[in-house]
Amino acid sequence: MFDLLKKKIAGFTEKILGGAKPESTHAPTPETQPSTETNVSPTETPFTPPETKQSPLPETTVEIKPIPQPKPVEKIQEKTTAPAQPTSKPVLPQIQQKEEREMKANVGLFQKIGGLFTGTLTLKEDTMNAFLEEFELSLLEADVELNTATALIEEMRKRLVNKTISSRENPNAIILGEIKAALHEILPPATIDFDAKINAQRPTVILILGPNGAGKTTTIAKLTHRLQKQGKKVIWGSADTFRAGSIEQLQVHADKLGVRLIKHQYGADPAAVAFDAVKAANAENADVVIIDTAGRQDTNKNLLEELKKIQRVIQPHLKLYVGESYTGQAILTQAKVFDDAIGIDGFILTKLDTDTKGGGVLSLLHNLHKPILFFGVGQGYEDLIPFSLDAFLERLIPGEA
């Protein structure tokens, strides 16, 4: 999970450090390189600044046609007196140009920071700004919302520009650590202690919100299973009286878990169902009552009015929005509408195991400033894990030894 975002972060650090490839051994030293000229062996493809006059190879290689012509090639070799070139000449122009771009980026960086093996590594402002601009585009590709990406880049700029790293330190670990610290800075530290909230009042009334298909029914079953393992008695209210089959789906899980389901006929007033469920929970001395709600389009005014009425009638202690993690920025747009209408206390993100990008999680936390309580990672009742920002960032940015 989060493979794309992890790949973008790893690529960013690799570019900063120039790839940490053997090219770094070409950095001049007092014993072996008294001259400041580029030192490469005759068999290597040299990197030569544009103003140098002694390197016609880049010009001639660009002129080589895709289909090799023996006679022109022999003349080029006589004229340039360059050593015999490797085989596979027909593809040489494309490969040569790509390698030159990589070398220019890496060598240029080492020239600006003074060399990796001179005692310290300084991340110069002009170099870092170029890398940060490119990284911002990478974040957008990984479904990070624009405001979130901008905030992260600015925080990283404060932490990385002109930062000096000792040669005794692991530069990769230092840079990854600063990225993790920047994420900590822009993401809200506030959270909800779910278990403490449940124990604070009896019965605790939980209102479940979210679009159809996001996994609300399964999430209700997972939450109930978790509460039952703690010895809690749970009652459900099926306030989704709009969608055909919603009551039956909830009943299947209720039968498996041994939970009483309060339900009315389809088309009944959802607020009346919620009221009856809370009333039953009080009468039966239940610990928790969980109310399922309809999940029509978030722009549906009737739905939003129904939710407002339910809130007025039962005064829930927790309003939890259930959304699919892999939908990226779409979940942010949907959740904003619900939050504006009745206020969201926290999120449960489902189908985390299918989230290949990961940007939606960052965007949700940064923009709505509401905590994530749980992640759904499968279809089983046990597949609900508490959210921890530290654990999430560690998965996203593993520590380096």
- State how far the Cα of 227 lies from the Cα of 6, in Å rounded to an integer: 34
193 CB-near residues (< 8 Å, 6+ apart) = none
For the segment 314-333, what is each residue's pLDDT rounded down to a tens digit?
999 999 999 887 776 778 88
**Cβ–Cβ < 8 Å for 316, 291:** yes
Residue 351: name the closest of 373, 330, 374, 377 by CA: 377
Q: How confident is the model at residue 3 (pLDDT cuts 50, 70, 90)?
A: low
DSSP 297-314: -TT-HHHHHHHHHHHHHH
For the segment 28-49, what is each residue's pLDDT rounded down to a tens digit?
444 444 444 444 444 444 444 4
**Cβ–Cβ < 8 Å for 238, 246:** yes
**Cβ–Cβ < 8 Å for 231, 283:** no
- State how far the Cα of 51 lies from the Cα of 48, in Å rounded to an integer: 8
Return the bridge partners of 205, or none: 289
DSSP assignment, residue 326?
G
Q: What strands lie across the sheet with 346-350, from one edge to the other?
A: 260-262, 234-238, 288-292, 204-209, 318-324, 346-350, 372-376, 384-386
DSSP assignment, residue 207?
E
Do β-strands 346-350 and 372-376 pair in parallel, antiparallel, or remain unpaired? parallel
Is the pLDDT confidence value at 338 over 80? yes
DSSP assignment, residue 162?
T
**Cβ–Cβ < 8 Å for 343, 318:** no
Which residues in 72-210 belong to E strands, given as ranges? 120-122, 164-166, 204-209
Question: Percentage of the chain surpassing pLDDT 90?
Answer: 38
DSSP assignment, residue 378?
S
* Among 63-77, 201-215, 274-288, the least confident range: 63-77
Of 3.90.1170.50, 3.40.50.300, 3.50.50.60, 3.40.50.2300, the CATH number of 194-388 is 3.40.50.300
Q: How confident is the model at residue 18 (pLDDT cuts 50, 70, 90)?
A: low
CA distances from 125 to 129, 131, 163, 371 (A): 6, 10, 9, 35
Give the CB-side neighbour count of residue 330, counting CA atoms within 13 A.
Answer: 12
For the segment 365-379, what is each residue's pLDDT rounded down to a tens digit?
999 999 999 998 888
- State how far the Cα of 323 lies from the Cα of 233, in Å rounded to an integer: 26
For the segment 260-303, what is each residue's pLDDT rounded down to a tens digit?
999 999 999 999 999 999 999 999 999 999 999 988 665 567 88
- State how far the Cα of 215 lies from the Cα of 349, in Å rounded to an integer: 9
Q: What are phi and psi of 280, to 5 degrees?
A: -65, -40
Which of 365 and 4 is assigned the larger pLDDT?
365
Q: What are phi and psi of 150, to 5 degrees?
A: -65, -45
DSSP 41-66: -TTS-----TT-SS--HHHHHHH--S
- State how far the Cα of 336 lies from the Cα of 396, in Å rounded to an integer: 25
DSSP assignment, residue 83?
P
Q: How many residues does the chain have?
A: 401
**Secondary element (H or E) of residue 153:** helix 146-160
DSSP assignment, residue 82?
P
3-16 vs 125-141: helix crossing angle, rounded to 10? 170
Residue tagged 């479904």 (tokens): 143
Query: CATH fold of 3-24+45-186, please?
Result: Four Helix Bundle (Hemerythrin (Met), subunit A) (1.20.120)
- State how far the Cα of 178 lies from the Cα of 170, in Å rounded to an integer: 13
For the segment 131-162, what is each residue's pLDDT rounded down to a tens digit?
898 888 888 888 888 999 999 999 999 998 88
For the segment 230-256, what is each residue's pLDDT rounded down to a tens digit?
999 999 999 998 888 899 999 999 999
Domain ranges of the chain: 3-24+45-186, 194-388
